[in-house]
Structure formats: structure tokens, C-alpha cells
Amino acid sequence: MARLGILAGGGPFPGRVAAAAVAAGRGVFIVALRGFAEPSVVSAFPHAFARMGAAGEILALLRAAECTELVLVGPVRRPPLMDLRPDAEGARIMARIGRAAFAGDDGLLAAVVRVLGEEGFRVVGAHEVLTEAVGPRGQMGRVAPDAAALADIERGAAVVHALGRVDVGQACVVQQGVVLAVEAIEGTDAMLARAAVLARPGPGGVLVKLVKPGQDRRADLPTVGPATLRAAAASGLRGVAFEAGGTLLTDRAACITEADAAGLFLLGIDATSATPEFSDQGSSP
């Protein structure tokens, strides 16, 4: 079986995807994006570091490792185009991506996936390899949302869907029906810090994270980790709702522990429903 190629951004998921593939008897090769991928995460696996704009080097490394399938995983902050400094192959690929390079992240990632397919790679989602990391539907942990929190979640889901349709962000914070903050290029942690400053007296708000409508799920799925729960607690929120089946949990057991310790609910919702639905399934680590 050909090796699985992993184009690695930041965070722990590149290493977890690699470990899952190896456990399944498959070889892996990681191309770690310099400035984003963490050496401690990729060091246990065959890997090489490459600059983001060095597409020729990246493709050559993947082909030399005989990778035919490729996972794009881990957050990457898109640099200004003038700082990308593409090599000759990168310039050729940028020309093929065309106007999508100036679009939102989802449009750009969809174009990258398309071009990689044209280059002979089958792009698969991290969730297809790391199935146990996909967040389940239902309440996780001991804390349940009350009716007011569910109303805030419903409001937040409508807002995030609207954001996603124009390819802006995957998350927002709602408190007592008021949208305190929406996610754009700054990311979830910065959005939560901003929401803390804008919080109103009374019951705290909720964080809602969802997949964008029409998003290619092979890249940039929403993620929730223990750090997300800590930031939510520090911002005075009451809980976190995520799209069940469409969100990656960096460490399920640790997320539940953090949520319980902070008195937060952690809830997987059916984002296709007009009213968020949940059950108690998925409540154990």
C-alpha cells in the first residue's frame, strides 16, 4: 500500500493522523510546513520541512515518498501573497488556482484540493483517517445547557451559517440572544478574548462552531480542544456547541475533563436542524 502523505500545519493533529495510519499498517510521510508545523509533533515519523510557497519541493517530496493519497491537516495562517515567494512550480499552481487565491479560506482550499487532484493525489479528510476524533452528537460531560443556552445556540448556528455562506468564519459567541463576536481571520481564541470584553451582565454566552455550508470537508474542519474550553471559561461563557460529525476534538477525554472542571457544557449539535437537537449519547470519554 502506498504511503499516506500528510501536509502538516500546526497543532497536534498531523501527528495523530500519522499515528492512526501507522497503527492501521500504513506508511506515512509528512511534509511539515515551516513556521506552522511543530517539530515535536512530526519528529517521530518520516518527514521533511518545506516552505509554504515551495510547491515544487513539496510535490517532489511527496512523489519521492510514493504518496498517492494526501491529508491536509493543522491550522495554517495564510500569508500575504507578496510574502508567499512561490517557486516556479508554485507560480504555475497559483496561476491554476486563479482568482480563488484572493477569495476566502474555503474557496482557496477547495481550489488547492482540486489542483492536487490534477497533480495525481487523492486528497482525503483527516476525519476519514482519525475517525475517533470526530465529535459525536449529544451532551458530553456532566453539564447540560438550559433553555436559554439552547436559544443562544440556535441563534449562533444561524449566524455561523450566514458567515459561512460568504466564506468568512466558522464560529461566533452569543449571549442572551446578542451576538458578541464573530470569527474572521483572527481565529477562535482571539474572538473569545474579544467577546470577554463585550460580555453583558447575567448568564454567560455560548461558543458555536460549525462547518461552513458547502465546505469541502477534506480541509479545515472546525476543531475544539482543551485550550478552547479553557479560553471559553476564561471568557465567562457557559458552554461550547459544535457540529456533530463535522468537528475534530483534539483530545476527547481532556475536553470533557476541562468542561466539567469549568462547569461548561460541551454539546454536539445537528447543524442541519432548525432547532439544535441533542441526546445524552456521546457523554462518556
Domain of residue 221 covers 134-269
Question: Residue 74 maps to which CATH number?
Answer: 3.40.50.20
Q: For 180-194, b where at least 16 C-beta lie within 10 A, e where not — what string?
A: bbbbeeeebbebbeb
Considering the domain architecture, whether residues 206 and 169 belong to the same structural domain is answered as yes
What pLDDT digit, counting tens, does each position of 201-254 carry?
A: 999 999 999 998 878 788 778 999 999 999 999 999 999 999 999 999 999 999
Q: Is residue 46 part of a domain?
A: yes
Confidence grade of residue 110 (pLDDT, cut at 50, 70, 90): low
CB 268 within 8 A of CB 136: yes
| Number of domains the chain contains | 2
Q: Give the ranges where the chain is alpha helix by DSSP (H).
A: 13-23, 39-42, 55-64, 81-84, 88-97, 105-118, 126-129, 147-165, 188-198, 226-234, 252-262
Amino acid identity, position 163: L
Q: Which residue has the higher pLDDT, 144 or 215?
A: 144
What pLDDT digit, counting tens, does each position of 160-206 carry?
A: 999 988 888 899 999 999 999 999 888 899 999 999 999 999 999 99
Q: Is residue 13 part of a domain?
A: yes
Considering the domain architecture, whether residues 239 and 175 belong to the same structural domain is answered as yes
Q: Is residue 264 part of a domain?
A: yes
**Does the pLDDT at position 151 exceed 90?**
yes
**Does the pLDDT at position 1 exceed 80?**
no
CA count, 13 A, side-chain hemisphere, 206: 28
Q: Is residue 280 part of a domain?
A: no
Confidence grade of residue 274 (pLDDT, cut at 50, 70, 90): very low
What pLDDT digit, counting tens, does each position of 27-61 carry?
A: 999 999 998 999 999 999 999 999 888 888 899 99
Mean pLDDT, rounded, of the chain: 87
